Structure 1
C-alpha cells in the first residue's frame, strides 16, 4: 500500500517565463485556473498575440528562461491586490509598476527591453 499524496509546496508563476513565487496557501475554485499563474507574459518581438482576442501562444514567442538565460538573475514578486510587479536583482528592486495600468505596463516593457538588449527580437510588450 502506498502513502497518500501530500502537497509539499505550492508555486505560481504570475509572469510566464519569469521566477515563481512560493505560496503559503491558495484558494482554489473548481473548473478555474490556479490563481494568477501565468496570467501575464512578456512578448519578445511580434508574436501575433492580439489582446482584444487573446489566444494561447507557444512560450517561444515570449521571454522565457529556456531561451533567455539572463532572466535567471531576476526575482519577481506580484501583488494580486494592486497588480504590482516588482523585479529584483541581487536583492535590489530594479522596477516596480502596476500591470493594471498602461503606464505601469510601459515601465515594465521599457525595463525588459533595456535588460534584454540584443536578445530582444523586437519591441518587448
Structure 2
C-alpha cells in the first residue's frame, strides 16, 4: 500500500527544513508553522497592519539567494526561537518575536549575501497565515517515484528535499499525482484534494548537501517531459493527524 514516507515543514521561508514524525492538519490551513516567517529583503509590500499575500521576490528566498543553502537551521516553534549554524561552526539563535535579538543574524546574512541584500532586513509574520509562494493555504505533495524517474532520465541523484514539499509519498506510479487534481485522497485521518501542479524554479537546482547549483532541474523536466512541474498542491478537506508510515488511499475511477 502507498505510504507517507516524509513530513517536512520550512518554518522560515528560504531556510532549512524541520522534519516531523506527525502533524495535525485543518481545513483552510497549511502544515502548522510551514513558512510561518520570512525575512523581508529591504522595503517591500509586506504590511503587518494589513496582512495579505506578498510575492516571494520581496523576501529572502533560495531561488534568489542560493548561499542560504549553506546554513543549517533549527526552529523551536513552541519557544519561538530560530537557530542558524554557519559553515565556520558559529551558531546564532534569535527570538522570532523579539526584533531586538535579530541584529547578529541580519549582520551575518548581510555579509554572506552582499549586494543581494536590497536594504534593511526584518522578519515578517502574519498569525494564522503562511508566507508561501501561492496565496492559498495548501500543502504540497511530492511523489518519490516521480523523483526516481527523473533521476533515471537525468543520470543524477536527486534528493526529494530539493522540491521543498510537505508530504512525500511512495508506492504509486511515477507522475500518477497529476491525475489527482480535483479528486480526493486520504492520508491517515485526513482527506486532501488535489488543486494544482507545482511549476518548479531554479531553487530545485541547488544541491542541499553542497549548496551549489549542479543540475538545472526545470530545464531537465522540460527536456524529458515537456513541462517544468513536479508535485501538486493539495487542500486539506478534513481535520486530523498524519503520521510517517500512514497509508495513502488513492482516488477511485471516476471520482470527482
Structure 1 residue 102, shift from structure 2 partner: 2.3
| Displacement of 1:93 | 4.0
**Contact 1:76/1:88 (<8 A) preserved:** yes
Give, in angstroms, the shift of residue 92 of structure 1. 2.6
Distance 1:107 1:84 in 2: 14
What CA distance in whole angstroms lies between the structure 1 residues aligned with 2:15 and 2:24? 22
Structure with greater contact order relative to length (CA < 8 Å, sep ≥ 6):
2
1:20-99 alignment to 2 at 5 Å? 20-90=17-87, 92-99=89-96
4+ residue runs over 6 A deviation: none
- State the shift of 1:24 in Å: 1.8
Size of the aligned set, in residue pairs, is 122
Checking the alignment, whether the CA contact within 8 Å between 1:112 and 1:124 is kept in structure 2 is no
Q: Distance in 2 between matches of 1:60 and 1:103?
A: 25
Higher strand share: 2
**In structure 1, what is the Cα distance between the partners aligned to 2:31 and 2:103?**
26
For 1:33 and 1:104, how far apart are their aligned partners in 2?
28
Listed as ranges, the gaps of 5+ residues in structure 1 are: none
Q: Please provide the CA RMSD for this pair.
A: 1.9
> Does 2:110 correspond to 1:116?
no
Query: Does 92-101 or 34-43 show the bigger shift?
Result: 92-101
Tell me, yes or no, if the aligned pair for 1:15 and 1:39 is still in contact at 8 Å: yes
Bigger Cα displacement from structure 2, 106-115 vs 42-51: 106-115
Unpaired runs of 5+ residues, structure 2, are 123-256
Deviations 1:35-57 (A, max 9, x none): 11000001111112111112111
8 Å CA contact 1:15–1:37 kept in 2: the answer is: yes
TM-score where L is the length of structure 1 = 0.85
